[in-house]
Homo-oligomer: A and B are copies of this chain.
Amino acid sequence: MGWAVYNEPRTKNRPVARQPVHLTAIYPGSFDPATNGHLDVIERGSKLAGRLIVAVLRNESKQPLFSTAERMEMLAEVVRPFPNVEVASFDGLLVDFASQCQASLILRGIRAISDYEGELQMALMNRRLRPEIETVFLMAGEQYSFVSSRLVKEIFRLGGDVSGLVPPAVACRLRERMASV
């Protein structure tokens, strides 16, 4: 295999720049609860941006299983190994929140089995609302292609075993929740 960087005609004019990039990225979601698929995206995303904000949507109208505070606590546990990742919550427009955080990236995970078209629709709409914020898609591992918060909750509710699908901190909370009911 051979290859050749093609810079003869250009480098006469100017040297190629190596810009250090200080990007802040937002990874938004309901995280009700966070799954191992989410964790996989967080880990990958933490290498992509200088600062990654995992942003929990405060969608009270949808009757989540866990309160916003609980979801944030579980995520705080989950992101502890990643020094440049923090946890926040938001309501209102995602792009407005991103702008307040001076984030220039929205991070989304896509799966082999996923609402691909819904993701694109949302991303195009967000671009129209604030063109300066870019949506970036990462691909979760194929072993998470079938894991969603909705399915995890359904299996948990029906008495199935969800360890291996969610981080230990989440599995623990799910068991507590079950015991208290």
Contacts and interface: CB of A to CB of B under 8 A. Distances in A.
A80 B41 CA distance: 33
A138 interface: yes
Interface size class of A (residues with CB under 8 A): 35 or more
A17 B52 CA distance: 10
B84 A18 contact: yes
B134 A121 contact: no
Interface of A: 1-7, 9-10, 13-14, 16-23, 44, 47-51, 53, 55-56, 72-73, 75-76, 79-80, 83-84, 86-93, 95-97, 100-101, 104-105, 110, 112-114, 116-117, 120-125, 127-129, 134-139, 141-143, 145-148, 151, 155, 158-161, 164-165
Given A10-B79, A95-B160, 5 more contacts: A20-B20, A93-B160, A125-B146, A129-B160, A129-B161
